[in-house]
Copies of this chain bind each other. A is one copy, B any other.
Amino acid sequence: MVRSLTVAYRGTDYAGWQRQSNATTVQQRLEEALGAFLNQNVKVVGAGRTDAGVHARGQVVHVVGDPRDPNRSTGGDLPDTAFVHGTNRHLPPDIRVLGASRMAEGFHARKSALSKIYTYRVIPTRVLSPLDSMFAAAVDPRVRAEPMKEAIVGLVGRHDFTAFALAGGTHSDPHRSILRAQLRTSGAGHLIFEFEGDGFLRGMVRSLVGTLLEVGLGKRTPQEFGELLAGSPRSEAGPTAPPQGLVLERVFYPSGTAE
């Protein structure tokens, strides 16, 4: 049995998901809380390595205990709800375990994932309200949704995303498959980009959004955007949109993964 957890967090005050030696990360805080709750040395593996300032509504992790007795050392006998509430008692208010599940042996939060959904929220305004600014980026209100909608449909399929990978990132293969890509407008006029993919290069969603916004502002055509998807260098694409608009929404696994 492997325990998986669904975790939500505000990334605002963290240097991202992944543990670092010199900055506080979400993974660190979660491992500390699990350690305090279970009175064990516990590690977790997350499905998505969100960057500094990026949020998660549905990050998924699996819990890794002592290899000599992984089941017992990760609280194998505890009911899922006790596991959730026990861990939350040791977490800061900006991180919460929303649920726990028992998965079949061999489950791995990242390697078993079929796809992930990220959203990015943009608000066309000159002055961003403080009620929105923690979870959205502002854009010039002259932005137009139509050309962005025209460009975004071209994302679906398998492409070489070199143009949208963080400079300096080391990806052996820059190809990724996008299963779904859409732009919708909320009742309040917010623009919400949604991407489902089998994987994402580092910085990929934010540079896709930064480049799509240039399409929306008439600085590029939808056709020019499409031409970037065949392995253009990073310098050809637009800027990286700021982290606070990005949310890891959900991770999908094959049916039958749960125990």
Contacts and interface: CB of A to CB of B under 8 A. Distances in A.
Interface of A: 8-10, 55, 57, 84-85, 88, 93-99, 127-131, 133-135, 247
Q: What is the interface of chain A mostly: helix, strand, loop, or mixed? A: mixed
21 contacts: A8-B129, A8-B130, A8-B131, A9-B130, A10-B130, A10-B131, A84-B127, A85-B127, A88-B127, A93-B130, A94-B130, A95-B130, A96-B128, A96-B129, A96-B130, A96-B133, A98-B127, A99-B127, A131-B135, A131-B247, A134-B134
Rank and list the top 10 A-B pairs by shortest CB-CB distance, nearest first. Answer: A8-B129, A94-B130, A10-B130, A96-B130, A98-B127, A8-B130, A9-B130, A96-B127, A57-B131, A8-B131
Contact of A127 (B9, B10, B97): B97
* Most B-side CB within 10 Å, residue of A97, A98, A129: A129
A130 B11 CA distance: 10
A129 B93 contact: no
Nearest to A99: B127
A113 to B, nearest CB: 20
A128 to B, nearest CB: 7
A36 to B, nearest CB: 18
A133 B98 contact: no
B133 A93 contact: yes
B55 A131 contact: yes
Contacts of A129: 8, 57, 96, 98
A23 B101 CA distance: 45
A84 B57 CA distance: 34
Contacts of A57: 129, 131
Contacts of A85: 127
A21 to B, nearest CB: 25
A182 to B, nearest CB: 16
A100 to B, nearest CB: 11
Contacts of A127: 84-85, 88, 96-99
A8 B133 CA distance: 11
Contacts of A93: 130, 133
